[in-house]
Amino acid sequence: MDDSDTAAILPGDVLNAISADHTSNSDSFDHKEEADVPSPLPTTRSVRPPFPCWRPLSVEPVMFLSMFSVALQAPLSTQYLWDRISEDLGYNGSKRSECSNSSVPADPLQKDVETLTAHWNLYISLGGFAVGLLVVPLLGSWSDLAGRRPVLILPNFGMALQAGVYLVVMYLKLPVVYFLVGRLLSGLSGDFNAILAGCFAYVADTSDRRSRTFRVAVLEACLGLSGMLASIIGGQWRRAQGYINPFWLVLATNLASALYAYLFVRESVPPDPSAKLLTSRHHKAVWHLYSTGGNGSEGSGGFHRCKLWLYTLCFFLVVTVHFGSRDLYVLYELSSPLCWGPALIGYGSAAQHLAYLSSLLGLKIMQYCLKDSWVALVGLASNITGLLVFSVADTTQLMFTGYGLCFLFMAATPVLRSKLSKLVDPSEQGALFASVACVESLCFLVGSGVFNSLYPATLHFMKGFPFLFAAIILLIPSGIIGILQCLDQRRDHRDATGS
State pLDDT tens for residues 164-199: 999 999 999 899 899 999 999 998 998 888 898 888
By CB atoms closer than 10 A (0-12, 13-18, 19+), residue 270 is buried
Using the predicted structure, report yes or no on whether residue 16 has a pLDDT greater than 60. no
Q: Say which amino acid occupies 134.
A: L
State pLDDT tens for residues 19-71: 444 444 433 333 333 333 333 333 333 456 665 555 556 889 999 999 999 98
What is the mean predicted confidence (pLDDT) over 106-116? Answer: 79
CA distances 112 to 46, 456, 458, Å, are: 54, 9, 14
Q: Would you say 166 and 182 are in contact if contact means Cβ atoms under 8 Å apart?
A: yes
Cβ within 8 Å of residue 340, ≥6 positions away: 333, 334, 348, 396
Collapsing DSSP states into helix, strand and coil, what is residue 140?
helix
Collapsing DSSP states into helix, strand and coil, what is residue 464?
coil
What rounded mean pLDDT belongs to the chain?
Answer: 80
Higher pLDDT, 90 or 480: 480
pLDDT on residue 425:
77
Q: Which of 319, 325, 356 is nearest to 440 (CA)?
A: 319
What is the mean predicted confidence (pLDDT) over 279-285? Answer: 72
What is the mean predicted confidence (pLDDT) over 285-306? Answer: 67
188/308 Cα distance (integer angstroms): 29
Q: Would you say 333 and 340 are in contact if contact means Cβ atoms under 8 Å apart?
A: yes
Q: For 10-39, give one letter per residue: b (16+ CB within 10 A) or e.
A: beebebbbbbbbbbbbbbeebebeeebbbe
Cβ within 8 Å of residue 55, ≥6 positions away: none
Alpha helix stretches (DSSP H) within 206-341:
212-241, 244-264, 281-292, 301-334
Q: Would you say 86 and 114 are in contact if contact means Cβ atoms under 8 Å apart?
A: no
Structural domain spans, the chain: 56-95+106-265+282-492
Using the predicted structure, report yes or no on whether residue 8 has a pLDDT greater than 80. no
Higher pLDDT, 254 or 357: 254
Higher pLDDT, 293 or 132: 132
Q: Which of 193, 172, 167 is nearest to 182 (CA)?
A: 167
CATH code assigned to 56-95+106-265+282-492: 1.20.1250.20
